[in-house]
Amino acid sequence: MSRLRHWALKTPQKSALIDLDSGRSITFQALDLRVQRAALWLRQQGLQSGDGILLLLENRPEIIELGLAARRAGLYFTPTSTHLTLPELAHIARDCGAKMLFVSSHTSSVVDALLKLPGLADLRVVCVGDAPSAGLTPYESELLRVDEAGVLPVCPLGRDMLYSSGTTGFPKGIRRAMVSAELRDQPETEVLNWQRLFGFDDQTVYLSPAPLYHAAPLRYVMRTVEVGGCAVLMKKFDAERALKAIDQYAVTHSQWVPTMFVRMLELPASVRNAVSLKTMRVAIHAAAPCPIHVKQVLLDWWGDIVHEYYGGSEGFGVTAIDSTSWRTHPGSVGRATLGVIHIVGDEGEELPVGEIGKIYFSGGPKFEYWNDPQKTQDAYNEKGWATYGDMGYVDTEGYLYMADRRTDLILSGGVNVYPQEIENALSQHPQIQDVAVVGVPDQVFGQVPKAVVQLRDHNLASEQMAREIIEYCATHLSKVKMPRSLVFEEVLPRLETGKLLRRVLKEKYQADPHAGFQIK
């Protein structure tokens, strides 16, 4: 018996999913019924074990419903960002071998152009929602015709097949082997570890304010349902609504990215003090570095319930740290909870404590990038250790601290300059909303740091403000790390997951290194 079916029988009228935007609540009984119908329908469409479906949907309960149905039917499912370009979407559709594409009335405008591209003419398109787009198969009508008493064939447990964020080049797929039919209803080790680490159970109410095409929000919502808890979904993050949802639904667990913390901390005290956070036991964050001063202020507000982790969709290594340990190791992303950490130098040698190098993990599960053996090979070294591509160092107690990716390092006059260190210093300035540092060409030093700054009030952008920021920075950084120029942007380019699109800024300002205000 599937874990969802177990809870549908045990707690049929309990809410499994709540759509915050519509207020709609879906009980375990109703969700299990729809998942069963969807799984049977997918099989009736001719899909076989190992086939895939592609979901181009805004945050909505059907993503979870279809994901659970694909798992039950032995299929791969790929939720993807609604912000992809047509070439990126076409690449994913071909690469994952999707047999069906699910859209909504909000995303269906891309369908005609997509189906005209090579290799995609036979992709069947299904429209989710109460008002399906003309000419597309209506999902709701199809489900109504399915007899839920039908029997699914014996098959392995399906999985998600997710793609990298695509900050460089086309996104890469991560496809893991399915769980065998014999073991499909047994809890997986990674789920048991997740429950142990964060305390998810049938009493959990989990708030998910992030995009469901991202690995952690997707998996955490599905796991919450499968352990008998309730997941509250937000269509799009809004700081005030998120805080009110914690109070309204007695949220116990939540997951965030640092930019969300910043937005909530910026709310007026009257708004923040009007809601109760007393039910929340665990707040988790990852995906992007959190400035130390931001996290310290958050801990003062929320208390020691904040957990941070570092990992990736590839799943070969994870670190984690709770609030108590973070207070004594500020800036760390924790110690390994999956795999063993190794810091590796340019020549492949393992570096000692305190030295910055590329972060590798040994002892974790193997993985591969789908249809990209070269990228898979590049992720492993000759010892079989795997890397996400990030840089960092460990302290004497084994706590990991992040630096920057090798491609983001600035080599200035023969000295390695790490953008994150400069960004951490600049972000403490009271007028700065967001900041990124990139290396730009320089005739004397080869490269120098340029600060790209988003002010809280863009109307304050001026040469005087630039000089004030640099003077502030001088009290926190050595001369070699000081930005040599500063430019103001109204909004920095970030993904919905909070990840900075540094590549966009690097390309823009490496082509125009003298933009903005030059610092003598």
Q: What is the pLDDT of residues 115-152, one digit of tens each?
A: 999 999 999 999 998 877 778 999 999 999 999 889 99
Q: What percent of the chain has pLDDT over 90?
A: 70
Tokens coding 239? 């700081």
- CA 290 vs. chain centroid, Å, equals 14
State in words which class domain 407-518 has: alpha beta
Q: Where are the domains of the chain?
A: 3-10+25-181, 407-518
List pLDDT tens digits, range 32-47: 999 999 999 999 999 9
**What local confidence, expressed as pLDDT, does residue 169 receive?**
64
Phi, psi of 403 (to 5 degrees): -115, -120
The number of residues in the chain equals 520
Average pLDDT, stretch 140-165? 92
Using the predicted structure, report yes or no on whether residue 328 has a pLDDT greater than 90. Answer: yes
Average pLDDT, stretch 400-412? 78
The pLDDT-based confidence of 297 (bands split at 50, 70, 90) is very high
Residue among 208, 280, 274, 211 at smallest CA distance from 244: 274
Fold of 3-10+25-181: Rossmann fold (3.40.50)
Using the predicted structure, report yes or no on whether residue 165 has a pLDDT greater than 70. Answer: no
Q: CB neighbours of 417 closer than 8 A, spacing ≥ 6?
A: 409, 410, 411, 439, 449, 480, 481
Query: 3-10+25-181 and 407-518 share one CATH topology?
Result: no
The span from the CA of 497 to the CA of 413, in Å, is: 34
Instruction: Identify any residues that bridge with 440 across adjacent strands, giving them in sequence order.
Output: 448
**What local confidence, expressed as pLDDT, does residue 406 receive?**
65
**What local confidence, expressed as pLDDT, does residue 413 receive?**
65
Using the predicted structure, report yes or no on whether residue 520 has a pLDDT greater than 60. Answer: yes
List pLDDT tens digits, range 330-373: 999 999 999 999 999 989 999 999 999 999 999 998 888 999 89
**What local confidence, expressed as pLDDT, does residue 376 receive?**
92
List pLDDT tens digits, range 79-118: 999 988 899 899 999 999 999 999 999 999 999 999 999 9
- CA 485 vs. chain centroid, Å, equals 31
Using the predicted structure, report yes or no on whether residue 167 has a pLDDT greater than 60. Answer: no
334 touches 349 (CB < 8 A): no
List pLDDT tens digits, range 58-78: 999 999 999 999 999 999 999
114 touches 98 (CB < 8 A): no
